[in-house]
Amino acid sequence: MSEAFDAVDVIRAKRDRQPLSDEQIDWVIDAYTRGAVADEQMSALAMAVLLNGMERREIARWTDAMIASGERMDFSSLSRPTADKHSTGGVGDKITLPLAPLVAACGVAVPQLSGRGLGHTGGTLDKLESIPGWAATLSNEQMLAQLEDVGAVICAAGDGLAPADKKLYALRDVTGTVEAIPLIASSIMSKKIAEGTGALVLDVKVGTGAFMKDADQARELASTMVALGTDAGVRTVALLTDMATPLGLTAGNALEVQESVEVLSGGGPADVVELTVTLAREMLAAAGKDDVDPADALKDGRAMDVWRRMISAQGGDPEAALPTAAESQVVTADTDGTLTRLDALQVGVAAWRLGAGRARKEDPVQAGAGVQLHAKPGDTVRAGQPLMTLHTDTPDRFARAQESLAGAWTIGAAATPTPLVIDRIG
């Protein structure tokens, strides 16, 4: 077949800072998905987008074209409204695990399509797969049935959802174009809009352990995604949240599941509880159910009941013992004082090197590997006191994990508290 455009012309237009027309965008996404535009041509276009940006109209059309490359899900048959949450990823970010059953316990269905970890950020599916028997893959029919029955699903996205994004995401990862805000925003939002949720809350992380280190960049990304969702008819709000310090006291797969269960039991670290409840309130309000306080559903056990049913529905045993690593090593404080800083990125890299994460998508992960924290910024510590425990099945990994923790914390006179929620957009 003859093509409507020439890829080189489209690349040149964006290289020369010209906006792409709707027709050019529709064609280039479709042609790339079909294989008529080569990887090296799409790489050049992605780099031009990274360097020169896109207008709001272009980003919206690019997102629509990615959605049009696959199927759209429809939850209109459900007996309750839907709301979803997306986090841009961080260290110790297990919030999806307690959040989905909590929101479902308050009467809003949560269709949470999640992913796996890559590099220092953990993946929700990897965490849940540490539960014996739990399966990440569901058909659309199974997902709909579980949403109606249980109210919450956390599963892998099917191949039919925005296949153009899957192809482009892999390309961006190896061509230095991951950071292009128009491409990040359209990647996230094409899947979320195609998923068919009625409301969406975005948790955009800022800080060393986040994808976005800079607050202004994070705010730009959040604003872009909120605009895309709003334009598509999805009630969308974004929170900018701190990721300079790891969330909670664990980074790793089974370790984070255990901490999530503690939160659902009415305990758990204060920061994890605060962010879970804050995001739940936003999701409920966006779905028109702001007359319910999710904090009550944590206290009275309703959220835990939904968790057990959600895990069981996907073949998991919520009562089973979680895997533990064969080996552990304690890292201690070198002086007395107040822990004033604990670098999220360095803790995340340590967990990754211990076996909790992967360098390539096909790498296996260790369910029990990771880092358990015994102190957070603001805590008083003494020399020789445990700061963290490292866990792995392969003890030869300890040395490289320890290397990544060099200079990861500061012990001083007093810590300045940092707010967990930095800003709200939408």
Asked if residues 112 and 125 have their Cβ atoms less than 8 Å apart, the reply is: no
On whether both 223 and 291 belong to a single domain, the answer is: yes
Q: Is 165 a catalytic residue?
A: yes
Of 259, 284, 313, which residue sits at a domain end? Answer: 313
On whether both 151 and 285 belong to a single domain, the answer is: yes
Answer yes or no: is 283 within a domain: yes
Residue numbers in the chain where pLDDT is lower than 70: 1, 118-119, 361
Of 313, 344, 372, which residue sits at a domain end? Answer: 313
Collapsed DSSP state (helix, strand, coil) of residue 180? coil
On whether both 296 and 358 belong to a single domain, the answer is: no
The residue annotated as part of the active site, out of 14, 61, 86, 120, is 86
On whether both 154 and 291 belong to a single domain, the answer is: yes
Query: Domain count of the chain?
Result: 2
Q: Is 361 a catalytic residue?
A: no
- Distance from C-alpha of 182 to C-alpha of 62, rounded to nearest angstrom: 9
On whether both 121 and 206 belong to a single domain, the answer is: yes
- Distance from C-alpha of 44 to C-alpha of 243, rounded to nearest angstrom: 32
The residue annotated as part of the active site, out of 14, 191, 219, 376, is 191
On whether both 304 and 252 belong to a single domain, the answer is: yes
The residue annotated as part of the active site, out of 187, 190, 260, 404, is 187
Q: Return the structure tokens found at 151.
A: 């109210």
Q: Is 187 a catalytic residue?
A: yes
Q: Is 340 exposed, middle or buried (0-12, 13-18, 19+ CB in 10 A)?
A: middle
The residue annotated as part of the active site, out of 26, 126, 165, 343, is 165
Q: Is 191 a catalytic residue?
A: yes
Query: What pLDDT shows up at residue 118?
Result: 66
Q: Return the structure tokens found at 123.
A: 């993946």
Asked if residues 415 and 340 have their Cβ atoms less than 8 Å apart, the reply is: yes
On whether both 282 and 339 belong to a single domain, the answer is: no
The parent domain of residue 302 ranges over 83-158+195-313
Of 289, 313, 337, which residue sits at a domain end? Answer: 313
Q: Give me the CATH number covering residue 247.
A: 3.40.1030.10
Q: Return the structure tokens found at 223.
A: 């604003």
On whether both 249 and 290 belong to a single domain, the answer is: yes
- Distance from C-alpha of 4 to C-alpha of 21, rounded to nearest angstrom: 13
On whether both 127 and 275 belong to a single domain, the answer is: yes
What are the DSSP E strand ranges found in 271-352? 327-332, 337-342
Collapsed DSSP state (helix, strand, coil) of residue 336? coil
Q: What percent of the chain clears pLDDT 90, i.e. is strictly above it? A: 85
- Distance from C-alpha of 263 to C-alpha of 267, rounded to nearest angstrom: 5
The pLDDT tens digits of the residues spanning 95-112 come to 999 999 999 999 999 999
Answer yes or no: is 344 within a domain: yes
| Helix axes of 96-105 and 253-264: crossing angle, nearest 10 degrees | 30
The pLDDT tens digits of the residues spanning 310-354 come to 999 999 999 999 999 999 999 999 999 999 999 999 999 999 999
Alpha carbon separation from 34 to 11, 25, 39, 169 (Å, rounded): 18, 14, 11, 16
The Cβ-side half-sphere exposure at 20, using a 13 Å CA radius, reads 32
Q: Give me the CATH number covering residue 338.
A: 3.90.1170.30
Q: Is 308 a catalytic residue?
A: no
On whether both 252 and 372 belong to a single domain, the answer is: no
